Structure 1
Amino acid sequence: MAQMRNIGIMAHVDAGKTTVSERILFYTGKSRRIGDVDDGTTQMDWMEQEQQRGITIQSAATTCFWHNTQINLIDTPGHVDFTAEVERSLRVLDGAVAVFCAVGGVQPQSETVWRQANKYHVPRIAFINKLDRTGANYLHVLKQIEEKLHTKPLALQLPIYQQEELLGLIDLITMQYLQFDESSQGATVISSPIPSEHLEQAQEARDQMLDTLSTYSEELITLLLEEAEIPQDLILSELRRLTIARELTPVLMGSALKNKGVQPLLDAVTHFLPDPFELGDVPAKLVSKNKREEIAISRLSTKDFVALIFKIQQDKESGALCYARVYAGSIKSGTMVLNVGKEKKERIGKLYRMHARTPEQINELKAGDVGVIQGFKLAQTGDTITDGLNVVLESIDFPEPVISIAIEPKSLADLDKLKEVMTLLQREDPTFLLKENSETGQLLISGMGELHLDVLTTRARDDFKAQFNVGKPQVSYRESIEGSATLTETFDRPINGKESFAGLTLHVAPNERGAGNRITNELAKTLPDELQQAIIRGIEASLASGIVMGYACLDIHVTIQSVQYNEELAHEVAYQSLGAILTEKACTEANPILLEPVMAVIIEVPNDYVGEVISKLTTRGGIVMGVDMQDNIQLLDVQAPLTKMFGYSTELRSQSQGRASFSMKFSHYEKKTN
């Protein structure tokens, strides 16, 4: 029976992640030529904007085969503005390959994607890429992996150089010297005995590998103490066990651009990352009328079909393409399935296995598969679909947008088209939001950063032919309170022609910064559950709509202290309305404040320009939290208000003659001081 691996390739931007993916496609026979990022000929970065900008914007899925293993591979973006693509990919993957630049090491987005993989308990192997570059230092990268990512890296290879040229790799498990034939673009791997001049170094590296591995394996340490020969199968099985348990991270090496080291990486994927059926049951919740009960779904079950929709891609001809990961059972084209969250049934149209943008129609999706469903009209990212089983899988959490821009149609006739296109893009991207001001009619779109919004507006114009103008970037603020207040009020207006009455006392106070909103219910059994839930819905709605300026509220603690209740006059609408009205009034009396987003900024700058960069950052309200020295480069860890960071990329290029770079992501909200 063929094995299966569902893996993702993840990395910081420019670590060579897409180049690795392109070589995987070539060496597995999925493609006949090697795509090049610089030439814009990559298969996984198929969008026109990806090829023009030289970055991955959307995660792309493909299926290839290595020996007797089917590999479902997802290439994810490395730029922080597209972190949601990484998030939803990791949610459905069973393993991942983390790519690190041998010069840059563990860079900021490397840490972000590593934390995302931790969140979803994804086993990983590492690939140190770009060993051919000047300044490459694999030992430095290994040290950074251990210190910054808090995992135990285990090098399985030793790179061999002649002067600064990477000649090949020594495999420390088989103790063979691997070279990659240039005439076949690296497709032919030449395995030979280790050259005598490298034998001592290789033996030391192997001893170090086995010594580390033995700390996790009693069988291995016994053999080492007895000075017995170590079976290769034992090394592989122990590495597999420890990788899946996430106790250590096997590290492979090479240069994907120079076609070196990719086949051993593929071997490591099959050796060390899990088959979906090896993993435990899938946690889910059984949904009934008033509660959700924790259950587990067997991956081996053939009885029930359960899948998660993790991505939606709008196709101009086919409509919405829903990427789904199947966890149990199977499904065929034409079948009716239940969207559990929507409580609606939809018919599956066509089923596809994707190769980047090229669909391959198939008849059936089975447990473990990653495939695409055409024909759904209601589905959204995070929805669970089943063949009738009323369960929901853990959904996907996405960060909230922090930057907005106003858009307006070029003419009134373009308005409906503009709304339609933006709604389609919003369905595709959960971190892209469209909001219309009910009073002014202004359209506001929000996203994760300037690049994110630039990409989406370019797509709207070029791909969907929407005609519109774009305003200047705006910041997505939040509102909170600094004081506290307690208010009591009654509601005694007719509802649907019938008399109603409700009374409520609420207390509002600041919650700890960064803790989010909190609602404490002290009513116990003094009010029926449905009416208590109505009050909570009203409070939540009020907090979402803001206090003074209409921005969503943050870090507010609302306590429901007491109610007045008349069974004959009680109505859910009355209590919900009262919850909303009273929350707004109490917050208004509790010294409302405006919160602004503060960004975590990592700047890589050559030593010669550090002084000027820090000086200019200070004028933008930036605070340097730390400095990390790396050879001739300094990494500045900075916190700065988003409002002051617009246009920073141009300024930084000017200050450093184009040699400095930066990445920026949301950190937290703070009180706006001016």
Structure 2
Amino acid sequence: MAHVDAGKTTLSESLMYKTGNLCKLGRVDNGDAFLDPDELEKKRGITIFSHNAKISSPNFEITLLDTPGHIDFASQTIEALSVLDYAILVVSALDGVTGYTKQLWNLLKKYQIPAFIFVNKMDIHEVAKTSILKDLQENLDANCIDFMEKGDKFYENVATTDENLLDKYLNGESIEEDIPKLVAQRKIFPVYFGSALKLDGIDDLLQGLEKWSIEPQYENQLQGRVHKITHDQKGERLTWMKLLGGNLKPKEEINGEKINQIRSYNGEKYDLVNEMNPGQICALVGLTKTYPGQGIGLQDLIDDSLKPVLVYKVETDVDIFECLNALRQLEDEDPLLHVDWVEELQEIHVEIMGEVQREILKQIMKERFNLDVDFVEGNILYKETITNKIEAVGHFEPLRHYSEVHFLLEPGAPNSGLVFENKCDLEVLSKNWQEQIMTALESKTHLGVLTGSPITDMKVTLIGGRGSNVHTVGGDFREATSRGVRQGLMELKSKNAVQLLEPWYEFELEIPQDQVGRALNDIQKMSGKFDAPENLATSTIIKGRAPVSEMISYSENVRNYTHGQGRLQTVFVGYYPCHNKDEIIEKFNYDPMSDLENTPNSVFCSHGAGHTVVWYEVPSHAQYPYTYKW
């Protein structure tokens, strides 16, 4: 894994070539790389889809997953994380540790995956190895250690990373057998240097992988992890799974579905296997309900750290439902591709990561499904949050129905999403009713009241309510729950305690030194923030943050005013307060009172009939004590 153009695929090819698993060394820029077999990858010269390869030698066998480096296809990398034993993080000597490198590093830390580091392109870079190692130690981990160093100095560097190990080393004992354990425990990170294109350093990396890694131990009972979904050229749905325990054969069942075939892939080619053993990653044919991150005999492992930030409308002259079916298939493969059918507009809306993904989607729709489509009117995906807490009340009591709920709405930490908690006493509401309320909370997309955008970074706690043993029926608490959350949001809006959020990029801009003034002026105009510029020999690096809406198309401007010498890298870092909220709110022109599917009003019953009570009068009509202390 690595940032774009660091040389991951070239390194993968070199590892295969050096072990005799590949007869000819392909090149990404020539379009003949073994691990970029897709026509789109050949045309673009980048990895778009993750691919599997086998590396074997007399002493070990590795399944290698080559992942995309472009941020728009990060879902492929995230899917692979769930099945890794080790990662090889590739760092370009030209770029050093980038913002995206740090993001990948944080993901490895989150999943507790041990990592080897290969610094590539050492043949075309003038910076000394010591300088690059310092960059890794300062920006990734202090225990990134040069494993190409020999002799006492190497063992001394390793020993200083662990107190017990240092004592052992100073007592003259060998620490050789302890090193693989330290690597597996992420206490040290082996660093190798070389050039994948020129095969420099490849033998050292291979020897290191063999010597310093530990083969996993597996359970006896059936366990596995789904890491991606694809479709082959005939349209067969493939479930890629790593077996983590037991054995699996064709015609056996997983969750009630029969496996028709088990395929072992090496690049584009595959063999049918009669038995799948622990540690293997294979593609299973015949399963229709699987999804990335799904655990077989294990808990699911779903990562939602990356979110789409752009939404487009599908424009086409062909059958719109044929397009919808094709996009649903692509959505099945890519969890970060969100496809929405808007019934009232008879339109398809697609949420994606960025412009490159949009262009690739157009080509995929044409080449895989023979459908000409365009994705137009790109909009930013905004969100809303709250800045104060309040007790929210929802009541639903038409004739012969009854339910009332009370929630505490509180601001959550930035980029924490929605959190639901139950603090209601069983003497107040029965367990069955509480479960209905919590299910209703978790199953609904809660919209804000400024623009109708999804609510995030908010904690909702169930604190009370009422039901009726005679009149409460299925669905009553679902209605009360929706109305209650919206009632609280309207209360907060009236107190200016609802906030509009927008996605922000973290950026790294490298430009000629005579263009620094222009760049800083541009960043300020984009409402961005930046650190002190860092001067290199002939260029300057500016790092900072800026709204996606302002920076989404800035890379083209950089290319133009630097005559191709500038370089802009962006990484989505989360949602923060919108820089032009008044303008956006006016543009949306959203009326929460007209959104009947998300009404904040409640229904009470009097004189044998139900009647609507407007949201700001609901607390005074509540039949369970309204307890919030102002």
TM-score normalised over the length of structure 2: 0.86
Q: Could you say which residue in structure 1 is the equivalent of 2:540?
A: 634
* CA positional deviation for 1:433: 0.5
Distance 1:82 1:104, change over 3 A: same
Q: Could you say which residue in structure 2 is the equivalent of 1:324?
A: 241
2:487 is equivalent to residue 582 of structure 1: no
User: Among 31, 40, 55, which residue is 1:40 paired with?
Assistant: 31
2:404 is equivalent to residue 503 of structure 1: yes
Q: Deviations 1:470-505 (Å, cap 9, x if unpaired)?
A: 2132111112344555454432236xxxx3211233
User: Among 155, 158, 170, which residue is 1:213 paired with?
Assistant: 158
2:415 is equivalent to residue 514 of structure 1: yes
For residues 253-272 of structure 1, what are the structure 2 equivalents within 5 Å? 253-272=193-212
Instruction: Report the more deviating stretch, 627-636 or 89-98.
Output: 627-636
| One-letter amino acid matched to 2:422 | N
C-alpha separation in 2, matches of 1:481 and 1:441 = 32
Distance 1:454 1:501, change over 3 A: same
| One-letter amino acid matched to 1:461 | K
Distance 1:489 1:308, change over 3 A: closer
Q: Could you say which residue in structure 2 is the equivalent of 1:403?
A: 310
User: Among 283, 288, 291, which residue is 1:380 paired with?
Assistant: 291
Distance 1:219 1:105, change over 3 A: closer
Say which SS state the counterpart of residue 600 (structure 1) adopts.
strand
C-alpha separation in 2, matches of 1:384 and 1:360 = 25
C-alpha separation in 2, matches of 1:322 and 1:581 = 40
Structure with greater proportional strand content: 1
1:102, 1:137 within 8 Å by CA — same for their partners in 2? no
Q: Could you say which residue in structure 2 is the equivalent of 1:74?
A: 65
* CA positional deviation for 1:453: 2.3
Instruction: Report the more deviating stretch, 139-148 or 581-590.
Output: 581-590
For residues 300-339 of structure 1, what are the structure 2 equivalents within 5 Å? 300-301=219-220, 304-338=221-255
C-alpha separation in 2, matches of 1:557 and 1:145 = 37
| One-letter amino acid matched to 2:521 | S
Q: Could you say which residue in structure 1 is the equivalent of 2:596?
A: none
| One-letter amino acid matched to 1:399 | L
* CA positional deviation for 1:41: 0.8
2:190 is equivalent to residue 273 of structure 1: no
Say which SS state the counterpart of residue 276 (structure 2) adopts.
strand
For residues 225-374 of structure 1, what are the structure 2 equivalents within 5 Å? 234=174, 236-277=176-217, 299-301=218-220, 304-338=221-255, 345-374=256-285
C-alpha separation in 2, matches of 1:642 and 1:25 = 39
Say which SS state the counterpart of residue 332 (structure 1) adopts.
coil
Instruction: Report the more deviating stretch, 98-107 or 321-330.
Output: 98-107
Distance 1:506 1:120, change over 3 A: closer
1:398, 1:431 within 8 Å by CA — same for their partners in 2? no
C-alpha separation in 2, matches of 1:324 and 1:151 = 34
* CA positional deviation for 1:630: 4.2
C-alpha separation in 2, matches of 1:217 and 1:516 = 39
1:157, 1:252 within 8 Å by CA — same for their partners in 2? yes
Q: Could you say which residue in structure 1 is the equivalent of 2:118?
A: 127
C-alpha separation in 1, matches of 2:421 and 2:544 = 36
| One-letter amino acid matched to 2:374 | N
- What is the aligned-residue identity percentage? 25
Q: Could you say which residue in structure 2 is the equivalent of 1:427?
A: 332
| One-letter amino acid matched to 2:156 | D
Q: Deviations 1:521-551 (Å, cap 9, x if unpaired)?
A: 3421111122112222333455534435432
2:193, 2:201 within 8 Å by CA — same for their partners in 1? yes
C-alpha separation in 2, matches of 1:18 and 1:564 = 60
Say which SS state the counterpart of residue 34 (structure 1) adopts.
coil
1:506, 1:562 within 8 Å by CA — same for their partners in 2? yes
C-alpha separation in 2, matches of 1:479 and 1:515 = 13
Q: Deviations 1:133-160 (Å, cap 9, x if unpaired)?
A: 14242211110111100241221325xx
1:610, 1:634 within 8 Å by CA — same for their partners in 2? yes
2:459 is equivalent to residue 468 of structure 1: no
* CA positional deviation for 1:373: 0.8
C-alpha separation in 2, matches of 1:548 and 1:581 = 16
2:55, 2:63 within 8 Å by CA — same for their partners in 1? yes
Q: Could you say which residue in structure 1 is the equivalent of 2:570?
A: 664
Instruction: Report the more deviating stretch, 101-110 or 85-94.
Output: 101-110
Q: Could you say which residue in structure 2 is the equivalent of 1:3?
A: none
TM-score normalised over the length of structure 1: 0.81
Structure 1 vs Structure 2 CA RMSD: 2.3
Aligned length in residues: 574
Instruction: Report the more deviating stretch, 599-608 or 55-64.
Output: 599-608
* CA positional deviation for 1:517: 2.7
Q: Could you say which residue in structure 1 is the equivalent of 2:16?
A: 25
User: Among 359, 383, 388, which residue is 1:454 paired with?
Assistant: 359
2:395, 2:483 within 8 Å by CA — same for their partners in 1? no
Q: Deviations 1:577-620 (Å, cap 9, x if unpaired)?
A: 11012212321232144321122122222323222222222222
C-alpha separation in 1, matches of 2:125 and 2:327 = 45
C-alpha separation in 1, matches of 2:396 and 2:564 = 63
Distance 1:396 1:362, change over 3 A: farther
C-alpha separation in 1, matches of 2:38 and 2:457 = 40
For residues 92-241 of structure 1, what are the structure 2 equivalents within 5 Å? 92-157=83-148, 172=150, 206-215=151-160, 216=162, 234=174, 236-241=176-181
* CA positional deviation for 1:652: 0.7
2:78 is equivalent to residue 87 of structure 1: yes
